[in-house]
Amino acid sequence: MTQPKPVGFTPLFREALLSTVEAHTTKLGIDQPAWLKAADAAFHKSHRHTLRVLHAQAVGERKREVQLAIIRSSRHPAIEFQRELARIARAAKRSTRIEQIEIAPGEYVAKRVIDCSRRELLLLAAQYERKARGMSRRAAFYRALEEQLRLAGIDDSETLQHWIDRQEQGA
């Protein structure tokens, strides 16, 4: 025989409140302190055999509520780390982007970020860093070229080809 699923505190106490409300209703409203006292007595009378289990459930639920409230409002580094990782995981689950990871020279594997191991993530980061260094060098070259053109008297709307044409005409 299967045991019945345990019922939480809230539905049982609501039942006690509803069963005692009529006795404490007056034409001016509800006598709340007396109603709560009567509902508490009715609850203890009806559920005294499950009171210990209900108390443990209620305490457990309240502990979890407090813990979740702290997680929502805290700036503790470990909690921030969890929050950031959860945000990244949600974005990775939605992403369909496939990364080409060079696992050995000339050997590539195509994967979504969500499917990458820590080793593969490090390889991918190194790839992007190499590419960024190359892009940074290229950016520095273009800045230097623009500076040289400015010093040569080339207008903002003119190109390197204009300077080349001038050099060829003057030679």
25, β-bridge pairs? 30
pLDDT digits (tens, 9 = 90+) for 41-53: 999 898 888 888 8
Residue 72 has pLDDT above 90, yes or no: no
Question: Does any domain span residue 44?
Answer: yes
Domain assignment of residue 15, yes or no:
yes
Number of domains in the chain: 1
Is position 120 within any domain? no
Q: What is the β-pairing status of strands 107-111 and 99-104? A: antiparallel
Specify if 7 maps to a domain: yes
pLDDT the model gives residue 81: 83
Q: Which of the pair, 104 or 7, is modelled with greater confidence?
A: 104
Range(s) of the domain holding residue 33: 1-62
The model scores a pTM over 0.95: no
Q: Is residue 4 part of a domain?
A: yes
DSSP run (H or E) holding 99: strand 99-104
> Mind listing the pLDDT tens digit for each residue in 8-19?
778 888 899 999
Backbone angles phi, psi at 24, to 5 degrees: -120, 15
Rounded to 5 degrees, φ, ψ at 41 are -65, -45
Does residue 117 lie within any of the structural domains? no
